[in-house]
């Protein structure tokens, strides 16, 4: 496991973006954990996350392979801005952009905010998790309406590695459809393995009992 992955898991625990127990998901599944990127809302946490995302992107793509960092509304918006700032600290100056859910009819009218998108732009998309991929597909539709772009890669914070209700792997289907790769800082497996084997600031976040429940959940819903 790379340093930025360990840093992300520990930051998520510190910020309580990662919570453990029993949570009913939108799908109705009873999950032993819950992740919420919306809690990285302080300057300090955003600053730390920016460095992690920048290291993550650099581990997968060289700077000359993409032009714009894009965040789909809404959770992807602060992540794209953070990524752009983190990359700038590494001497990589990439503009950010995000989509609106509804087009403005006055002022800076249009569906996109930030860097102007033009034909040939190679887009790095940054988001929190990947569930069905619908929000990302909507964003791609907006981008494609504006210009002929190429998706250089999708970068998410967490891959839950779960099947859809239809038993399909949504990420694999998305990769085939858009001829791109979806990269995750960490998977649920990596989180549980790391926190089961390591204490964070003296605290055991994943006990033997919780780890067993995760393995049971994984056997039922995992890909």
Residue 67 three-state SS: coil
The active-site residue out of 104, 134, 168, 220 is 104
**Cβ pair 19, 4 in contact under 8 A:** no
Residue with tokens 């597909």: 137
104 belongs to the catalytic site: yes
145-173 b/e (C-beta count within 10 Å ≥ 16 → b): ebeebebbbbbbbbbbbbeeeeeeebbee
Pairwise CA distance, residues 93 & 70, whole Å: 14
Could you tell me the CA-to-CA distances from 113 to 69, 85, 143, 149, 211 in Å, in that order? 12, 17, 11, 16, 42
196 belongs to the catalytic site: no
Residues 6+ apart with CB under 8 A from 216: none
Residues labelled as active-site residues: 104, 106
């Amino acid at each position: 496991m790379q340093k930025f992955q360990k840093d992300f898991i520990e930051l998520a625990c510190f910020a309580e973006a990662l919570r453990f127990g029993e949570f009913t998901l939108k799908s109705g599944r009873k999950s032993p954990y819950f992740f919420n990127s919306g809690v990285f809302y302080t300057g300090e946490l955003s600053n730390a996350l920016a460095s992690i995302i920048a290291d993550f992107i650099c581990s997968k793509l060289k700077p000359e392979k993409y032009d714009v960092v894009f965040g789909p509304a809404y959770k992807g918006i602060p992540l794209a801005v953070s990524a752009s700032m983190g990359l700038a600290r590494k001497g990589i100056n990439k503009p950010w952009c995000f989509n609106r859910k509804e087009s403005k009819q006055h002022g800076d009218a249009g569906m996109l905010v930030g860097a102007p998108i033009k034909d040939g732009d190679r887009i790095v998309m940054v988001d929190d998790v990947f569930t069905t991929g619908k929000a990302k597909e909507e964003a791609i539709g907006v981008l494609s309406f504006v210009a002929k772009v190429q998706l250089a890669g999708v970068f998410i914070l967490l891959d839950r590695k779960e099947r859809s209700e239809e038993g399909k792997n949504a990420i694999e289907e998305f990769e085939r459809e858009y001829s791109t790769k979806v990269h995750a800082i960490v998977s649920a497996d990596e989180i549980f393995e790391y926190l089961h084997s390591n204490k964070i600031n003296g605290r055991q976040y994943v006990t033997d009992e919780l780890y067993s429940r995760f393995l049971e959940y994984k056997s039922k819903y995992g890909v």
